[in-house]
Amino acid sequence: MLRKDIRNVAIIAHVDHGKTTLVDAMLKQSGVFRANEVVAERILDSNDLERERGITILSKNTSIFYKGVKINIVDTPGHADFGAEVERILNMVDGVLLLVDAFEGPMPQTKYVLRKALEQNLKPIVVINKIDRPDQRVDEVLDEVLELFIDLDAPEPFLDFPVVYTSAKQGIAKLSMDENSSNLAPLFETLIKEIPIPDGDVEAPFQVLVTTLDHDEYIGRIAIGRVMRGKITNKQNVLVLNGYEERKAKISKLFTYEGLKRVEIQEAMFGDIIAICGIDEIKIGETIADPNEPEMLPGIYIDEPTVSMIFSVNNSPFAGQEGEFVTSRHLSERLFKELQTNLSLRVNPTESTDSFEVCGRGELHLSILIETMRREGYEFQVERPKVINKVINGEKCEPMEFLTVDVPKEYMGTVMDLLGRRKAELTNMIELAGYIRLEFIVPARGLIGFRSTFLTSTKGTGIMHHVFHGYAPYKGDVLQRQNGVLVSMETGQVTSYALSNLEDRGVLFVVPGTEVYKGMIVGENSKEVDLWVNPCKKKHLTNIRSATSDEAIRLNTPRIFSLEQALEYINDDELVEITPKSIRLRKKILNRNPRTG
């Protein structure tokens, strides 16, 4: 039986190529909102971090109706660090919209997500977006997309992919650049025509693969997935399968998606994307099946983590002053709770009960978790990220990244020199309008701490993206941070007088009035060694000079670290202390001389 009334499609793209903006336009033009309704931009980026960073972190489900056909749309993350989200979502759809920027063309993450789609034999529609850019190069980008399909060994029928040209910002789509268009109708028509129609047996025993989880404070845990076959009804008894146990459950509520809302329904059939309530302790990858004829669906394979960090209870002199959750029990419960929905994360115990090894897909993957936790009120400390090596055929191998760098021509030599020291191998060079695009294969550990150096060296004009490439034999030692740091030898409040005397020593990380403690890092030394300093030193009062004379001191602008910059900056003997209010850099051993203090 064919279900001609439904299509399931995922939108996949590189970061910032406009997929969330395109979904916005599709929702608005399909009549999801009232004419007078005030709608925010990037509707699907509901998470605060997503809105701040302009990236999609969590997949989102929505649907639109066009000419009597329901189109279920899933907006997926564009960053490879959230690849687990992408892999899960592709289990729910029959085709993909591959969105590519009309100037930038295919980027590392484009290749990553397209490979995942082709592995699952999903029909692609190529969407060239941002055709309104004055520097668009549509024809060249289309050729590059075709080359990408060939490089990924796409099946021959997929090489003749349909193409739609869009400006998500203007809300227009066309089938050729010569057409005039005022809406997205050509995109909707192409979707209905090209995306495969769900095919199944409505009389067969039902199966639902749990692809993602949600939570509602009133109805509890919600399992989201696609009905693979058969028909499922509300209040029905079901069996949950996971390969090592079976457990009985009953559906309390059944929902589907209409626009951005979950709408309660009484039954759903194969092809529908649904949300199920009432099954406690349900996990991603489990099968919800007919209790009379239970059959398990294949689980979800997720790429292994490549980066690890040690999360520990905060033990600094300021511990417990700013956070609500500060104990090892709090930290442990939060990390293991994250495992339920964050499939590519691993949490391992260490020799210390106060520390946990957390493994993820990359620095961004882990830093998003850290930022989420600090906003929830957690206080803890983390060590420098480390890559996870493997032994393959008896040889030590390390994770490699495919790195794409866009820089003005004058900085090309500088960037190549910086990456050469990090054991990077140049694989391709492309000249764009005023820019050079360099492609490298580089050890993942060579990129830890590289972004801030790269931005400084290119005066903020360079753009870099990277994606996991595979494992290769260990490349040897990679140069770490060359400069030492300025470490406080006192606990107290930073003074302008002390900082004015320290400016000649290097770059400062603190401002007057900052509370510091012994062992906290307050700046970067201009030399290679660490230097212990007193940032709290006050001017001695005399009958000639007054304390208010500090007001005349003019200090250089300090370097204030974001979370990612702090994680990249520290060395192996240093930590980042994280609280809801502060990000501090410190030495692991706070005393200058552990024996004497």
Which residues contact residue 544 at a Cβ distance below 8 angstroms, ignoring those fewer than 6 apart? Answer: none
Would the annotation count 132 as a binding residue? Answer: yes
Q: Cα separation of 220 and 214, whole Å?
A: 9
pLDDT at 595: 40
Q: What is the mean pLDDT of the chain?
A: 83
105 pLDDT more than 90: no
User: Would the annotation count 131 as a binding residue?
Assistant: yes
Q: Supply 235's token pair.
A: 């209040």
Angle at 44 (CA atoms; ends 36, 133), nearest 5 degrees: 85
- The band of 15, judged by pLDDT with boundaries at 50, 70 and 90, is low
On whether 386 is known to bind a ligand per the annotation, the reply is no
The answer to whether 19 is a known ligand-binding residue is: yes
Residue 148 clears pLDDT 60, i.e. is over it = yes
Q: Is residue 29's pLDDT more than 60?
A: yes
Q: What is the pLDDT of residue 315?
A: 93
Angle at 302 between CA 308 and CA 465, to 5 degrees: 60
Q: Which domains does the chain have, with CATH numbers?
A: 6-194 (3.40.50.300), 207-289 (2.40.30.10), 307-387 (3.30.70.870), 399-473 (3.30.70.240), 485-587 (2.40.50.250)
Q: Record the pTM.
A: 0.70
In this model, does residue 476 exceed pLDDT 60? yes
Nearest-angstrom CA–CA distance, 400 and 533: 39
Where b means 16+ CB within 10 Å and e means fewer, 425-458 reads eeeeeeeeeebbbbebbbbbbbbbbbbbbbeebb
Most confident by average pLDDT, 51-65, 70-84, 342-356, 374-388: 374-388
Q: What was the pLDDT predicted at 165?
A: 93
Cα–Cα distance list, 334 to 280, 326, 331, 348 (Å): 18, 11, 5, 13
Q: What average pLDDT does this structure show over 584-588?
A: 94
303 in a labelled binding site: no
The answer to whether 18 is a known ligand-binding residue is yes
Q: Nearest CA to 189 among 129, 125, 145?
A: 125
Q: What is the largest CA-CA distance in the chain?
A: 97
Q: What is the pLDDT of residue 43?
A: 42
- Once rounded to an integer, what is the mean pLDDT over residues 472-476? 90
Are the C-beta atoms of 106 and 143 separated by less than 8 Å? Answer: no
| pLDDT number for residue 308 | 92
List, for residues 309-323, the tens digit of each pLDDT value: 999 999 999 999 999
pLDDT tens track for 262-289: 888 999 999 998 889 888 788 878 899 9
Joined together, the tokens standing for residue 117 give 């789609």
> Binding residue per annotation — 21?
yes
**pLDDT above 70 coverage of the chain, percent:** 88
More confident residue, 409 or 34: 409
Average pLDDT, stretch 400-414? Answer: 88
Q: In sequence order, what are the beta bridge partners of 97? A: 11, 125
For 487-517, the pLDDT digits (tens) are 999 999 999 999 998 988 999 999 999 999 9
Structure-token match 């029909």, residue found: 123
pLDDT at residue 38, rounded to an integer? 40
Q: Say which residues have a Cβ less than 8 Å from residue 215's Cβ, sequence separation at least 6.
A: 221, 222
**Percent of the chain residues topping a pLDDT of 90:** 30
Beta pairing class for 531-533 and 207-216: unpaired
Residue 406 neighbours by CB distance under 10 Å: 19
Pair type for strands 380-383 and 307-313: antiparallel
pLDDT tens for each residue of 416-433? 998 988 899 999 898 877
| Residue 111 among known ligand-binding residues | no
pLDDT at 36 over 60: no
- At 180-224, the pLDDT tens digits run 888 899 999 999 999 999 888 888 898 998 888 777 767 777 888
Over residues 294-310, the pLDDT tens digits come to 888 887 766 678 889 99
Q: Answer whether 586's CB lies under 8 Å from 577's CB.
A: yes
Average confidence (pLDDT) over 351-367 = 87
594 pLDDT above the threshold of 70 = no
587 labelled ligand-binding: no
